[in-house]
């Protein structure tokens, strides 16, 4: 059984979360991912050992090989051009202008391989007044409008890890762009450039919320909206054991089921309540949910056709029966470290499923292997090492 992207060759110049997450998805779906990394000197053996353990457990580096090229050196750039000539996709996540200075930008590469898809991933895109600004996820979700609506009423914004900009707006959008460009190439025979700005992607993720604002003119208030915890039937509640339960009963029939399950049929007519009545319902629900443990409530409410979920800590994910059944927490065998757990593959394809074929590579682990594939001799490889072009 083949994988959907079998035969697609990707050169991965990215470093931080968004690019590696993108190429992880492509690799899981069968693409041949070659990480092109810069040299790093002076690592102690104990540090290398710790690094190896970290890489083995790092899901975003799986299904990849690694070559070290010092792209500031002409011989290394020549090797990169040879790789690019055979590649289908290049992914890079440097600040705008860096790849041009290194001589591996799209304008240069398209002359070598006009069928290649070149994806640049940056905070604000390749143009505009912010394009050269440094930043991280927290900054992109600030500019993109997401951070301002997340949090409790009257409090500071709550930082949702680096999920929205890095992984969703960045890595996933880049993956979509690459797959779309590969489809377009089937029709045109030509590659193209994909410019992915994470702040752009955050705005796109807010399509539903922004549509409401543009239609009404009312600015959403943090923690007070329908989908941000502002109503009793779409919120989280602390339970008897100090854990939390999520309730998402938006539809009237689900809300009615919830009220009946809680023994508060009198609250059924008040789903749309505001002001004091809404606060009263919040207070009643909070008091009721503190009478049982989280798991007791879940087991009970899940029998009532109610939108309910346990709020898990990370150490609970691997035992959830649904996640186990869907193979979303995998236990893999490693020859040195034994059982290694990683997130599974979320894209389920019936005919061409993805697969995990290898753990993340050590820095430059496949340099010699890749150069031999390009036709270099062992002697020339040694010479390139001495020149500092490869590692």
Alpha helical stretches, state H, the chain:
18-28, 45-57, 74-86, 98-102, 106-112, 137-143, 173-188, 198-205, 207-216, 252-261, 275-289, 294-301, 321-325, 367-373, 378-387
Coil, strand or helix at 69? strand
Q: Look-up: residue for tokens 């200075």?
A: 101
- Nearest 5°: the CA angle 75, 78, 83 is 130
Identify the CA nearest to 32 among candidates 13, 8, 14, 3. Answer: 8
Q: Which of 28, 32, 137, 166 is catalytic?
A: 166
What gap in Å lies between CA 13 and CA 120, rounded to an integer? Answer: 10
Give yes or no for a contact between 264 and 280, defined as CB atoms under 8 angstroms apart: no
Q: Is 30 left (phi over 0), alpha (psi -120 to 50) or beta?
A: left
Give yes or no for a contact between 118 and 175, defined as CB atoms under 8 angstroms apart: no
Give yes or no for a contact between 363 and 36, defined as CB atoms under 8 angstroms apart: no
Residue partners of 356: CB distance under 8 A and separation at least 6: 28, 62, 63, 330, 332, 342, 345
Phi, psi of 156 (to 5 degrees): -75, 160
Identify the CA nearest to 336 among candidates 43, 45, 56, 58. Answer: 56
| Chain-centre distance for alpha carbon 294 | 29
Task: Tell me the residue length of the chain.
Answer: 391
What gap in Å lies between CA 218 and CA 328, rounded to an integer? Answer: 39
136 is catalytic: yes
| Chain-centre distance for alpha carbon 125 | 18
Coil, strand or helix at 387? helix
Q: Which of 57, 131, 136, 270 is catalytic?
A: 136
Q: Which residues are catalytic?
A: 136, 166
């Amino acid at each position: 059984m083949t994988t959907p992207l079998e035969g697609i060759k990707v050169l991965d110049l990215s470093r931080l979360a968004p690019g590696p997450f993108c190429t992880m998805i492509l690799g899981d779906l069968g693409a041949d991912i070659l990480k092109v990394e810069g040299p790093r000197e002076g690592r102690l053996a104990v540090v290398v050992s710790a690094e190896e353990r970290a890489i083995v457990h790092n899901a975003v580096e799986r299904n990849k090989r690694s070559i070290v090229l010092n792209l500031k050196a002409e011989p290394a750039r020549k090797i990169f051009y040879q790789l690019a000539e055979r590649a289908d996709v290049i992914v890079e996540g440097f600040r705008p202008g860096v790849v041009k200075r290194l001589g591996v930008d799209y304008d240069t590469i398209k002359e070598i391989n006009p069928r290649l898809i070149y994806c640049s991933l940056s905070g604000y895109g390749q143009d505009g007044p912010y394009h050269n600004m440094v930043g991280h996820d927290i900054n992109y979700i600030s500019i993109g409008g997401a951070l301002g609506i997340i949090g409790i009423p009257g409090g500071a914004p709550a930082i949702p890890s680096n999920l929205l900009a890095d992984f969703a707006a960045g890595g996933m959008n880049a993956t979509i762009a690459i797959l779309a460009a590969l489809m377009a190439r089937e029709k045109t025979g030509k590659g193209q450039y994909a410019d992915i700005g994470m702040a752009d992607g955050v705005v796109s993720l807010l399509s539903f919320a922004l549509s409401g604002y543009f239609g009404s003119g009312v600015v959403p208030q943090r923690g007070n909206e329908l989908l941000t915890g502002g109503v009793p039937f779409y919120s989280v509640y602390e339970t008897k054991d100090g854990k939390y339960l999520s309730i998402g009963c938006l539809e009237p029939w689900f809300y009615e089921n919830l009220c009946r399950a809680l023994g508060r049929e009198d609250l059924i007519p008040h789903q749309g309540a505001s002001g004091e009545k809404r606060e009263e319902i919040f207070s009643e629900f909070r008091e009721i949910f503190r009478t049982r443990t989280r798991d007791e409530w879940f087991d009970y409410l899940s029998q009532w056709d109610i939108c309910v979920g346990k709020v898990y800590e990370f150490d609970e994910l691997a035992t959830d029966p649904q996640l186990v059944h869907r193979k979303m927490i995998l236990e893999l065998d490693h020859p040195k470290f034994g059982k290694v757990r990683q997130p599974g593959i979320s894209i389920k394809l019936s005919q061409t499923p993805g697969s995990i074929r290898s753990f993340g590579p050590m820095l430059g682990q496949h340099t010699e292997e890749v150069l031999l594939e390009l036709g270099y001799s062992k002697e020339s490889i040694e010479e390139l090492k001495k020149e500092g072009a490869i590692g």
